Structure 1
Amino acid sequence: MAASHHTLQPPCRLAPVPAPPSVKGLEDIPPIRAQFFYASHIPIDDPLAPATIVASSDARQAKLPLRPFSPADNAALERAWLSLSSDRARYNHDYARRPSSPSPALEREVVEKVAAIVTSLAAKHKEKHDREGPAPPPAPDGLSSGLTTAKTPRETASVPVCCSELELDASAELRREFCALTRRKLPALDQDRVLEAVMGQLARLRMEAETAARSATPSEMAGLVAPTPGRALAQLGTSLGSRVPTPPVDGPPLASSLPTGGLGLTRPPPLDDGISGKPFVRVEPSSRSNRSSGVATPDDKDRTPRSILRGRARGDSQASKRGRPALQDRLEDSVEVPVGISRLHMVSLPVLQMKPIYWSPVNDIATVLRATWFYRDTMVPVEPSVANQLEAGYRELRPWTETWSDELKSALDVGALGEEKISHRLWPEDTDKTFKTKDGLPPEPLLSSDPFCAARCFRGEAAAEGSLEPVHSELDTALPPPEARTYAKAHVIYKDATTAFLLKPSQKPSAYYGRRPLSKIMKGITVGLPVVRGFDRAAWERVHDKRAAARNQAAAPMVSPAELRQTAEQGVCPGCELDKDRGQVTDLVLVAHGIGQKLSERVESFHFTHAVNGLRRAVNIELESPTVKSVLRPGQNGIMVLPVNWRHLVNFEDDGSSGAHDEDPKATYAPDGFTLKDIEPPTIPAIRSMISDVMFDIPFYMSHLKPKMIAALVSEANRVYRLWCRNNPGFAEKGRVHLIAHSLGSAMAIEVLSKQPTRVPRPLDLSTPAPDTRFFEFDVTNLFLLGSPAGFFLLLERGGLVPRRGRLKPGADAADTVAKDVVGDVGMFGCLAVDNIYNILAKEDPIAYLLNGTIDPLYAASLRTAYVPSINTSFFKSVSDTVMRGLTGAPVAEPAGPAALTSGDEDAYSHPPNKKPLARLPSQLELEVHDFTREEIAEKKAFLLNDNGQIDYFLRSGGGPLEIQYLNMLSAHTSYWTNQDLVRMLCLEIGRVPGRQHALASMRAVKKGKRRFGDV
């Protein structure tokens, strides 16, 4: 969408972000046109970009290209970034930069805030551990026993804590309330001291609760369990060794003495806004439990199987083993902004990380950079620390004023000596006197590049960059040592309000050498490295994205300037409205995987998400094909493909059994109290691990663990669907959902859809606390089974595919949907609540089974083998087939695929002909042998199950005399995701007009006598 279609005034998404109020003395400073970048192999604004798999070992070493966010996303990110700024945080930051000791008032305020944190954390963890079980007896030193050892980010003293959650919660609360500089300068904010105070408070709470339980009444017990804030403050003052006098033990409430606004602890944590689902980024560090899948919330713990919760908890540890920033995910009370043309990713602020919304990150976490200064010739952002030094000098010298212009003129008149006066050193001098402060620590820069400090303590002037490291050290805020600085000895000459020049020592002004770079700069000659303040998108596109530049230049305005002004006055932006309409996807495709995803925890390239990302790109490419566009129904507006990764939610090693590993030797042993590890021999561990990760999913599914696996699939699919509905208003009322199930996932889908309600009410009630784990919360329009063993499971259950009673789909006869011999009822295995079922098989796939025979064996035997139409029919193969059929006298078959792409035939995907074909009268033998009543019932079932009158479709393989089926078998089961024929079929069957009369000619069932069923 060209910018000329937008009003560029509120409420337009591209409207400039209002500049925040400036600090005193800088009211006239020009606003910064900051630009956010992300480092990723795949551009999120190009759905046709090829997918790239980055191995986990190379994820951090690879030099990823920087890509700017779109203007709309950048504006949204900038608004969110500026909203994090706090006047109170800025005041505390400025006070901490002073060399003098903090005032008693500031110390008092800090101690009060820390006391509130201690009280809150102690109460939270007491409740947490009381729910989990009885608390361990207190240790002699007043702390609890059975403690773990936690280390601070500086790897100093270790403090025993009740659980690893406490250290994370304490770090998150301290980071939320105080910037890194304040924590570094004030000893009362040392994390070890806070942890010690929390553990002491927790021990006292338990002792008082035990005493109260023995002797006190319930009302007295409530007073003892919750200590007064005054008592907590007195205890904290003693623990931290503070010189600040503490109030009496029974003094006034602590909340009344805390500052209002800014850094107050009384504000509630933000609720789930539905953008991220909170499976991967912890947004509320102290108020909610942490689960990696985000399916369950605190309100729905009783409704979610314990195994799923344990699987999610284990996901955090597994993520950390794979190098993912699991700790960082849980640190910050942040803001999430959805980004990208398809809104599949979100940016967490102020942590400055971009992650996927609908699936767990698979080495696709991208760091985000907020840039303020840029290299003029390439528009590449200047490093944040250097940019902040440039901005600090910019604010000190004020080059946007007339005064600075006069100084430049005077320097030119004076000569080289005058130019020396206006040259500014980028970094401070490296002398011991200036490089060390009174406390012996490195000095603090005027503008911090720490993301948390840059967001809260400044008003948008600070550049910052995210990191994949778990935490940011408090020492990262200090000036880097001279050897680690970029342009360590460089000087800066500010030309005007937007341009400056970085000069090497050999280029800076010098009266001794007669160097006068300013005179050259004023003549238009480039000296050193020119940098500019603010981002120029047009300049970036001219250098890095010439196609976008040409596209924007060729785009003609569809709305006249007068109309733009009129719509802006009415508060409507035509460009935003058009973007909104174009972004409304009408078809959502959820893809459920089969066996083997346990292996993806160790083998990155085996992860199912990579396959779905590639499938999504292939679908987007096909939707641009003229052949596909000619078949799409009116109003069809795109297909979104999302993965349903259910396997990581299930832990088969911990299913609630006990006895084999009980610590108490007197505990009762249960006969089933052993796990796979107890019976697995230690021989050939690599092979056994491979088998258990891949093949054991099938026997697990056929055991008592089946309900657990079904619940995991349903809950994950519903979670993804809920997120999509929250982020795409209106989809729950108008959108259609389709399900693709591969391998074992197809058998699980058959199980769920057999018990699925005939119709799910619309719209979905998103106010319910958690997704359902019994059935899908959406209607499934089309079900695609890939490499499916569902036919085998139907055989075991003695079931068959039967249409659902009362499910009237487009084009179906209402009488057939209630006929006793045709339809079945909910709960019957194989009676699915769907409109169409497709069973796609690779010819050599040893896992796949047919489904036509489960409708009626005789009907299936009367049909010709159906193939997915091919888009790559070889010219030589088509010629040889025609010649061989002519030599043998066999009739020439109709085109099986859109050979139009290679030979000009476009009838393969055409609709049925308008003319009714000549009816062939049955012979006397057929009249005597055929049971036409049975055939009629089978045909009605088939057309209710699929508009084409059949279920099974084979994918064409290479064929030819050199084809070896046993070699193709090795890759056939995993070849579906890259098959172009399948991709086109998905697009056409999902996107076409529903109904039997609109079925495509090449997809319809054909009887062995070549009569096409259902021709009209």
Structure 2
Amino acid sequence: MTSNHNHFTSPKIKWFYAVDVANSKPSYYNYTKTQEPQKFIPFSDYDSLTIENTYQKTPTSKVLVNEDKLFEADLASMEISPVYWEGPTYEIRRGLWYKDGVPLPTETGIEIEEGYEFVKPYLFNQVATIPPDVNEVTTENLASKNEEEEEETKPDEKERVDMYTLKSGQTILYFNDKDAVIIPSTYKTKFQLNVVRTLGSNSLLGVYRIRRGYDDHNKKANEKKQTEVDEQKQDEQETTTRDQLENEVKEENLEQDFDLDTSKEESNREIDHLVFCVHGIGQLMGSKNEAYTFSHSVNLLRKVMKKMFNDRKEYQDLVENNDDPLNNRIQVLPITWRHKISFNPKRTGNDGNEDRLPSLAQINVDGITFIREILGDVGCDILLYYEKEYLLQMLTAVTSELNRVYSLYKKINPNFSGKVHILGHSLGSALTFDILSGQSGTIKNGTVNLENQLVFDVENLFLLGSPVGIFKLIERKNIYARNMANPAQEPGTFVSPKCQNLYNIFHPCDPIAYRVEPLVNPKFGDFKAVNIPFAVKGGISSHLEKVAQIGDIISTKLWIGSRNMQKKDSSEDDNDDDGAKIFKKREIHGEQLKQLTSLNASGRIDYALPMGMFDISILSALASHLGYFEDENTVGFIIRQLLTKRDKPLEKTVASLY
């Protein structure tokens, strides 16, 4: 035997997963799979090797994969799904045999490999020989050859030394140790099979070339195939009507939201800060379009957070004794709850054995239907907050989901001993605030009797675009820290969130957001919220920030000079001075500072995001409320607050006045 391929060789295995068509989705999507996926992308080398090693030992196991092990590959069902939140499942494949660089289904690959071991094409003399692909094989070509070969009977079994029949009836014709073709069951004559042997594969005839093992050839073919799929989708979108585009379901978040090229270090990175993100109003829209799902928003937050940390040394320097300079040691996970609430705009109210009440959709009038549907999906959530039955459902759902995800995270990461934080958006901020306060003015007597309490302590509570301020004002309640609450105060006149630091972050154009500091002390209503600086330098943002900073620096210096000249008694918290009136500055110290630092060690609670030149518009108002999770100014601020250590108590701070 002159061939170097004189023995069976193990191919390089690579695992893949689909990203374009889901196998299934949570029940509230009412999803039915109508087509097979076309776009498969490879797992990272680390994940692929881990999956393959597990598959060889226990082929029905589950393997944690992808960025931060946020997904689970189920080898029994051959599906990948998110670990900590409900989401779509996608098909996974063991890349053994490939067509156009795309792995064939795992079971098909196994069967073709069984034929490979039976036929032993690696022993063929013509190892390097394979018929070339031809652009076209016409019926005329076949007819001319058929005149020469009129035999219509099946070839003798002894002549089938290069073929293997699958259970499906298809035949595999092996050319050498790497190449073969799939022949449809309709090809039964010796003549037809010899044509395939001579001319190779041709898709017009239903004959497809396949290749064994993951190599450069299949890697390049896969990349080319995925590009073709993307271009085809883009062409389809360009010919789609606007209404169809608005309703089109976005199904590529699995590919877009995560770092797919994970390593062992990245998959097992140490986490010091676990942030649970609780969504607000409008998540029913996510059941119609995945671009609105909260898990997608949190995945974007994680992605932006990672990028900003990697690009900015000032953030990296905040992490002490960090062996990995690109590990921000922060993990963010979504907490979804809306689908667990019984009220649904399209669901009727059930009263006993029959529906006594109609659905919201049934009482809608016909005009501006699209806008009314949005209001039903979004606005109703706020109305439900003031109905005892639904509020208790909301509070219970959020508490249960927080505890479930925390317990699961601890089970998967038993060595985690870091701090836990909550980031609540919109109505989600009000729910988490009430859960941590243990009471809500929307319920009679203010007591929330939840079956379960949080099983973990909360370090920082971040309120984003929060209505907590207006809710507590309507409830006629102040906000005090637990160590500042006066037992002599009338019960039910205040709330005290159980957390170390309370942050209220808002965009000035956000119509849902309200301030919180005046509820701590009405005098704080004279203080402007702290301005969060632009996270990204350059362009118009930097110019706007520099102008503001220069004016602020000059004003502060003049005010300090005035203070020194006046020589006022610094203990007079409630008395303003001429410098404050002229230069719009005020020093916070003494009892007032204590009121603020007891709720936030930084000395302030309200933080305003910077405004651009074109922010004052209706569209900007809507965008400002929905865009916190991908806004770099918000993300940069949160990173800094999580990583900054405040070992010394704050003695005084300066606030700008209105």
Q: 1:348 to 1:921 in 2, by over 3 A?
A: same
Hey, what does 1:945 align to over in structure 2? 599
SS in 1 for 2:271: coil
Q: Is the 8 A contact 1:502 1:530 kept in 2?
A: yes
Q: Is the 8 A contact 1:424 1:493 kept in 2?
A: no
2:335 matches 1:644: yes
Structure 2 Cα separation of the partners of residues 584 and 725 of structure 1: 13
Hey, what does 1:381 align to over in structure 2? 103
Per-residue deviation, 1:950: 0.5
Hey, what does 1:718 align to over in structure 2? 403
Hey, what does 1:855 align to over in structure 2? 520
Structure 2 Cα separation of the partners of residues 383 and 578 of structure 1: 27
Q: Is the 8 A contact 2:461 2:502 kept in 1?
A: yes
1:439-450 correspondence to structure 2 within 5 Å:
445=166
1:15-26 correspondence to structure 2 within 5 Å:
none
Q: How far does the alpha carbon of each residue in 1:808-843 deviate from its partner, in whole angstroms, 9 at most, with x for none?
A: xxxxxxxxxxx6769999998531221211111111
2:656 matches 1:1008: yes
2:416 matches 1:737: no
Task: Point out where structure 2 has 5 or more consecutive residues left out of the alignment.
Answer: 1-6, 22-28, 129-156, 201-206, 225-261, 440-449, 576-586
Which of 258, 263, 276 is residue 590 of structure 1 equivalent to?
276
Per-residue deviation, 1:850: 0.4
Q: 1:681 to 1:866 in 2, by over 3 A?
A: same
Hey, what does 1:931 align to over in structure 2? 574
Hey, what does 1:984 align to over in structure 2? 636
Which of 16, 31, 34 is residue 37 of structure 1 equivalent to?
16
Hey, what does 1:354 align to over in structure 2? 80
Q: Is the 8 A contact 2:306 2:328 kept in 1?
A: no
Per-residue deviation, 1:934: 10
Q: Is the 8 A contact 1:589 1:641 kept in 2?
A: yes
Per-residue deviation, 1:698: 1.6
Per-residue deviation, 1:35: 3.1
Hey, what does 1:231 align to over in structure 2? none
Per-residue deviation, 1:618: 0.7
1:658-673 correspondence to structure 2 within 5 Å:
660=351, 662=353
Per-residue deviation, 1:737: 1.2
Letter matched to residue 175 of structure 2? I
Q: How far does the alpha carbon of each residue in 1:335-391 deviate from its partner, in whole angstroms, 9 at most, with x for none?
A: 422111311111223211111111111xx422111232347xx86435657645642
Q: 1:379 to 1:356 in 2, by over 3 A?
A: same
1:361-380 correspondence to structure 2 within 5 Å:
361=87, 364-374=88-98, 380=102
Per-residue deviation, 1:982: 0.5
2:623 matches 1:971: yes
Hey, what does 2:148 align to over in structure 1? none
Hey, what does 2:299 align to over in structure 1? 613
Structure 2 Cα separation of the partners of residues 616 and 373 of structure 1: 35
Letter matched to residue 850 of structure 1? R
Hey, what does 2:413 align to over in structure 1? 728
Larger radius of gyration: 1
Q: Is the 8 A contact 1:839 1:953 kept in 2?
A: yes
Q: Is the 8 A contact 1:593 1:741 kept in 2?
A: yes
Per-residue deviation, 1:877: 6.6
Hey, what does 2:256 align to over in structure 1? none
Structure 2 Cα separation of the partners of residues 373 and 676 of structure 1: 55
Q: Is the 8 A contact 2:85 2:334 kept in 1?
A: yes
Per-residue deviation, 1:983: 0.9
Q: How far does the alpha carbon of each residue in 1:168-213 deviate from its partner, in whole angstroms, 9 at most, with x for none?
A: xxxxxxxxxxxxxxxxxxxxxxxxxxxxxxxxxxxxxxxxxxxxxx
Q: 1:56 to 1:370 in 2, by over 3 A?
A: farther
Per-residue deviation, 1:745: 1.0
Per-residue deviation, 1:787: 0.7
Hey, what does 2:51 align to over in structure 1? 77
Structure 2 Cα separation of the partners of residues 821 and 583 of structure 1: 44
Structure 2 Cα separation of the partners of residues 622 and 823 of structure 1: 48
Q: Is the 8 A contact 1:859 1:935 kept in 2?
A: no
Structure 2 Cα separation of the partners of residues 358 and 848 of structure 1: 29
Letter matched to residue 700 of structure 1? L
Letter matched to residue 499 of structure 1? K
Q: In percent, how many aligned pairs have the same letter?
A: 26
Hey, what does 2:459 align to over in structure 1? 781
Structure 1 Cα separation of the partners of residues 316 and 488 of structure 2: 35
Q: How far does the alpha carbon of each residue in 1:4-26 deviate from its partner, in whole angstroms, 9 at most, with x for none?
A: xxxxxxxxxxxxxxxxxxxxxxx
Structure 2 Cα separation of the partners of residues 678 and 408 of structure 1: 70
Q: 1:827 to 1:531 in 2, by over 3 A?
A: farther
Q: 1:697 to 1:386 in 2, by over 3 A?
A: closer
Q: Is the 8 A contact 2:278 2:334 kept in 1?
A: yes
1:137-286 correspondence to structure 2 within 5 Å:
none
Hey, what does 2:582 align to over in structure 1? none
2:526 matches 1:844: no
Q: Is the 8 A contact 1:353 1:366 kept in 2?
A: yes
TM-score by length of 1: 0.46
TM-score by length of 2: 0.68
Per-residue deviation, 1:592: 0.5
SS in 2 for 1:778: coil
Q: Is the 8 A contact 1:943 1:996 kept in 2?
A: no
SS in 2 for 1:870: coil
2:495 matches 1:830: yes
Q: 1:826 to 1:713 in 2, by over 3 A?
A: farther
SS in 1 for 2:532: coil
Which of 396, 419, 441 is residue 118 of structure 2 equivalent to?
396
SS in 1 for 2:655: coil
Per-residue deviation, 1:659: 8.6
Q: 1:623 to 1:779 in 2, by over 3 A?
A: same
Matched positions, count:
537
Structure 2 Cα separation of the partners of residues 820 and 884 of structure 1: 37
Q: Is the 8 A contact 2:69 2:267 kept in 1?
A: no
2:382 matches 1:698: yes
Per-residue deviation, 1:890: 8.3
Q: Is the 8 A contact 2:502 2:600 kept in 1?
A: yes
Q: How far does the alpha carbon of each residue in 1:384-436 deviate from its partner, in whole angstroms, 9 at most, with x for none?
A: 57645642432323356xxx468989xxxxxxxxxx988745465xxxxxxxx
1:364-513 correspondence to structure 2 within 5 Å:
364-374=88-98, 380-382=102-104, 387-388=109-110, 390-399=112-121, 404=123, 424=161, 426=163, 428=165, 445=166, 478-480=167-169, 491-494=173-176, 498-502=177-181
Per-residue deviation, 1:968: 2.2
Letter matched to residue 426 of structure 2? S
Letter matched to residue 349 of structure 1? L
Q: Is the 8 A contact 1:801 1:855 kept in 2?
A: yes
Hey, what does 1:22 align to over in structure 2? none
Structure 1 Cα separation of the partners of residues 377 and 68 of structure 2: 33
Hey, what does 1:630 align to over in structure 2? 317
Hey, what does 1:868 align to over in structure 2? 532
Structure 1 Cα separation of the partners of residues 213 and 280 of structure 2: 49
1:811-830 correspondence to structure 2 within 5 Å:
829-830=494-495
Hey, what does 2:469 align to over in structure 1? 791
Structure 1 Cα separation of the partners of residues 16 and 488 of structure 2: 56
Structure 1 Cα separation of the partners of residues 532 and 488 of structure 2: 27
Q: How far does the alpha carbon of each residue in 1:895-946 deviate from its partner, in whole angstroms, 9 at most, with x for none?
A: 9xxxxxxxxxxxxxxxxxxxxx999548377779743799622201212222
Hey, what does 1:3 align to over in structure 2? none
Structure 2 Cα separation of the partners of residues 595 and 840 of structure 1: 17
Task: Point out where structure 1 has 5 or more consecutive residues left out of the alignment.
Answer: 1-27, 43-54, 86-333, 410-419, 429-444, 446-477, 521-527, 547-575, 664-672, 757-771, 806-818, 896-916, 1011-1016
Q: Is the 8 A contact 1:823 1:941 kept in 2?
A: no
Q: 1:784 to 1:77 in 2, by over 3 A?
A: same
Q: How far does the alpha carbon of each residue in 1:216-271 deviate from its partner, in whole angstroms, 9 at most, with x for none?
A: xxxxxxxxxxxxxxxxxxxxxxxxxxxxxxxxxxxxxxxxxxxxxxxxxxxxxxxx
SS in 1 for 2:430: helix
Per-residue deviation, 1:779: 1.4
Per-residue deviation, 1:972: 2.2
SS in 2 for 1:834: coil
2:535 matches 1:535: no
